[in-house]
Structure 1
Amino acid sequence: MPMSTGLKSGLIVSAGIAIVLGLGACAPLTLLNAVTPSSSYEKSADIAYGDDPRQRLDVYKPVKANSPAPVIVFFYGGSWNKGDRADYAFVGSALASRGIVTVVADYRLYPQVRYPSFLEDSAAAVAWTNSQIARFGGDAQHIFVMGHSSGAYNAAMVALDKRWLNKVGVSPSIVRGWIGLAGPYDFLPIENPDVKPVFHFPNSPPESQPIKYAIAGSPPALLIAASEDKLVNPQRNTGGMATKLKAAGVSVKELYFPKPSHATLIASLVWPFQHQAPVLDEVDQFVKSDGGRINTDNAK
């Protein structure tokens, strides 16, 4: 009996999920990009925000969006040792499909640099976005920072620790909110051997920890984790950050999902894997509500 189109599609999706689950964080990125449509965005690639070859970014402008549109600056993970913005086209596509102008930024990595140089780069990418994003239809008054894994650390530090945006000459208040996916926010003493040299182990500075900056007046946060994350402890990191922010009176939405792993949480942005967790819906709602400042239910 011939196989139906629906069944074929289901088997392809199932096979893709099996590959992602089996291979972990890096190898399946090309698969995620392959199953992501490019019809939702116009891409402006390889834009310099600094002099170093790693200080480059790509902008994904939604084909259909209100103008000016909200903006997300996205930082990828990789233990501050690896990563390339080209591998995260699926993030730009997914967010652009919801009418969000998306900036995917590279930043310098170990061993070229150690803490805090990648935070200086992250802040510089946000500063570039603040000054230039209007040319791409983005609203400089509605900039959010977002990251996965170590990229969520970068996003947290840019949003919470005023040193970095102050250093590049912009007000920390330009960040309307931040989104952390499976982020490490409280990880001293460092156990991961790949991360130890990045943070000058055994002399890792306490001021390197995002949780230290979870204080009153911080921007709203959307914190999402895989409940069974084996790489970054979700209770200590996501839970600890959420608890401290809430105690300081900061608006926080804290979510845990049982199906995805640490690596596949980011994959849930892509249509074949969205059943794993509604991450795209949650990010969309958070941004469109201006970090919870607007009641979108009443606005409909």
Structure 2
Amino acid sequence: MKTLFFCLIAVAVALLLFTRIVEPPNQLDYLDRFWPGQNNAEKLASDITFDEASAQKLNIWGVNAPNAHRKRPVLVFFYGGGWANGDRDHYGFAARAYANRGFIVVLPDYRKVPHVHFPIFNQDAAAAVRWVHDNISRYGGDSDRIVLAGHSAGAYIAMMLTLDRSYLMSAGVKPSIIRGTVGLSGPYDFYPYDSRRSINAMNRWPRPLETQPIAFARKDAPPIMIITGTSDDTVKPRNAILLSRKLHELGAPVKFRAYNDLNHEDIVMALSKPFRSKAPVLQDSADFLMKVTEQH
């Protein structure tokens, strides 16, 4: 009995240290990596510098199929963290999830507050997309079938690149290379700035409406899926509702999903194997993105 007791104490201490030392997204990545279930995805490349000026890097994930006759669609996934936190190495769970659904997945980093402010993180993201368009064929990806997705601040970045043509144009690629976009729990209409993080990230820009994705909603946008949770207290569902409504009123191709009782973290957690029973976030988003890559 004493041995069992001390084993339980050791496990409890180890878990406590794990949760204290390891950041939450990385905790999720560890769980996902060792959780039972099919996983054929692997990291095809890591620590690739996609922009010399910013020194930012990316990782590439996929199911290694050297004899595949057709190149696979490419998903560039931007992680969240309030424009101030996050690391591409902590989001392997998202990359594996989509790679196992048939995508080559690219996870780029971007510069963050307080070292930079709007619009630098969007410009870094556009540089990553440019690199992907120019180089992804070497890793089995189809540069003519690129889609974007992201969670929270990453959803904001993905939506800004999708709706505001200036970022990709300035990076040297045509905005039309984006076949579609999925935004998971993103802020799209939050001016006046509604949190300390948005104030810190945006308030130095002299024209605040230019920070808002909803200001760039357009009829000719590529297909967009906007996902939220009804219990999200971090990024209120009104962001998703208002952008979806605006795109719909303009006649743009948009789909809206609100998962009952899911909060901000639940939406991204549902991409991982241990928590997919929360809601079909992965299935719905992957099906949508795959479908738009197959359209001409």
TM-score range, shorter chain: 0.7 to 0.9
Instruction: Please list every run of 5 or more consecutive structure 2 residues that lacks an aligned counterpart in the other structure.
Output: 1-15
Q: TM-score, normalised by structure 2?
A: 0.86
* Aligned position for 1:253: 255
* Aligned position for 1:31: 28
* Aligned position for 2:64: 63
Structure 1 residue runs of 4 or more that deviate by more than 6 Å after TM superposition: none
Contact 2:146 2:293 survives alignment (8 Å): no
- Counterpart Cα distance in 1 of 2:185 and 2:95: 19
- Identical aligned residues as a percent: 36
* Aligned position for 1:154: 157
Once the two structures are superposed, what CA deviation does each residue of 1:55-92 show, in whole Å capped at 9, x if it has no partner? 11000022357731111101111110111000001111
Change (3 A) 1:183 1:66: farther
Give the Å deviation of 1:245: 0.8
Change (3 A) 1:291 1:223: farther
- Counterpart Cα distance in 2 of 1:177 and 1:89: 22
Change (3 A) 1:87 1:263: same
Give the Å deviation of 1:142: 0.8
- Counterpart Cα distance in 2 of 1:173 and 1:202: 27
Give the alignment partner of residue 271 of structure 1, picking from 265, 270, 273.
Answer: 273
Contact 1:184 1:237 survives alignment (8 Å): yes
Change (3 A) 1:292 1:185: farther
- Counterpart Cα distance in 2 of 1:34 and 1:150: 23
CA RMSD of aligned residues (A): 2.4
Q: TM-score, normalised by structure 1?
A: 0.85
Indicate the larger mover: 36-45 or 89-98: 36-45
Indicate the larger mover: 25-34 or 50-59: 25-34
Opposite residue 244 of structure 1, the aligned amino acid is K
Give the Å deviation of 1:261: 1.3
Structure 2 residue matching 1:78: 3-state secondary structure: coil
**Which of the two has greater helix per residue?**
2
- Counterpart Cα distance in 1 of 2:284 and 2:42: 20
1:107 aligns with 2:110: yes
Instruction: Please list every run of 5 or more consecutive structure 1 residues that lacks an aligned counterpart in the other structure.
Output: 1-18, 295-300
1:89 aligns with 2:103: no
Once the two structures are superposed, what CA deviation does each residue of 1:152-175 show, in whole Å capped at 9, x if it has no partner? 000000011000001011100000
Contact 2:76 2:149 survives alignment (8 Å): yes
Once the two structures are superposed, what CA deviation does each residue of 1:241-275 show, in whole Å capped at 9, x if it has no partner? 11111111111110011243101211101111111
- Counterpart Cα distance in 1 of 2:136 and 2:41: 18
- Counterpart Cα distance in 1 of 2:187 and 2:210: 14
Indicate the larger mover: 85-94 or 58-67: 58-67
Contact 1:41 1:97 survives alignment (8 Å): no
* Aligned position for 1:211: 214
Change (3 A) 1:28 1:288: closer
Opposite residue 147 of structure 2, the aligned amino acid is F
1:242 aligns with 2:239: no
Structure 2 residue matching 1:122: 3-state secondary structure: helix
Structure 2 residue matching 1:99: 3-state secondary structure: coil
Give the Å deviation of 1:26: 4.4
* Aligned position for 1:141: 144
* Aligned position for 1:119: 122
